[in-house]
């Protein structure tokens, strides 16, 4: 695969992740929190967004610097932690529904929950800051991503958070796909040589 094809594959992952994350909102509003469709969408969304983040980073690795690497690494790790947390909720919903109402979740789940959310919030601040500084992507998805943690702390509109987060990654993925089309053939050949050597 060429570098362009890899980035486009990862861009599609970003779009898919954003889509699945965004549809959590209508599922939550229509079927209630922790419904099976919402949880399945959450697992798929966080998984694909964590993978898609690699494409957003590697496409502009030369411009993002240390702050960009931190944003990428934190968001990817936190996405996979959140995916594990949502997968646990899905498993409980199917096999042990009473566990979802428990005030004392198992220790590994409690630790994952306490770890993933602060990391995600941090990355949702760092990555837009990188975008604003470097102008590698347009401002709209960066603003949507930045607004996501703010809305999550407002009780009335907290269900909108996943929708904005999802739309941000859909837009990032579309832009990454388009920008990958501008990668020169010489860059493709150089990346192929680097991979095979």
Distance CA 61, CA 59 (A): 6
Instruction: Specify the pLDDT at position 168.
Output: 96
For the segment 112-171, what is each residue's pLDDT rounded down to a tens digit?
888 888 999 999 999 999 999 999 999 999 999 999 888 877 665 667 888 999 999 999
Asked if residues 176 and 131 have their Cβ atoms less than 8 Å apart, the reply is: no
| DSSP alpha helix (H) spans, the chain | 3-22, 24-31, 36-59, 61-95, 107-134, 139-152, 161-180, 185-196
How is residue 103 annotated by DSSP?
S
Instruction: Specify the pLDDT at position 195.
Output: 45
Instruction: Specify the pLDDT at position 117.
Output: 86
Of the candidates 120, 181, 126, 151, the one whose C-alpha atom is nearest the C-alpha of residue 25 is 151
Q: With 0.95 as the threshold, say if the pTM is over it.
A: no
Q: With both helix axes pointing from N to C terminus, report the angle between 107-134 and 139-152 in degrees, rounded to the nearest 10.
A: 150
CA 121 remoteness from chain centre? 11
Tell me the mean pLDDT in the region 28-47. 89
């Amino acid at each position: 695969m060429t570098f362009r094809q890899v980035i486009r594959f990862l861009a599609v992952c970003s779009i898919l992740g954003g889509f699945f994350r965004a549809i959590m909102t209508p599922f939550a509003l229509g079927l209630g929190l922790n419904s099976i469709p919402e949880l399945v969408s959450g697992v798929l969304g966080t998984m694909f967004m964590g993978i898609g983040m690699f494409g957003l980073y590697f496409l502009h690795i030369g411009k993002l610097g240390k702050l960009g690497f931190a944003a990428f690494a934190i968001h990817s790790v936190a996405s996979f932690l959140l995916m594990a947390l949502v997968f646990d909720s899905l498993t409980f919903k199917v096999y042990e529904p009473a566990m979802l109402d428990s005030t004392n979740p198992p220790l590994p789940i409690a630790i994952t929950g306490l770890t993933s959310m602060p990391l995600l919030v941090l990355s949702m601040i760092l990555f837009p800051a990188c975008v604003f500084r470097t102008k590698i992507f347009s401002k709209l998805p960066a603003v949507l991503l930045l607004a996501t943690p703010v809305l999550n702390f407002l009780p009335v509109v907290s269900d909108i958070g996943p929708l904005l987060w999802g739309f941000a990654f859909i837009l990032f993925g579309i832009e990454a796909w388009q920008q990958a089309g501008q990668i020169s053939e010489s860059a493709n050949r150089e990346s192929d040589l680097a991979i095979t050597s």
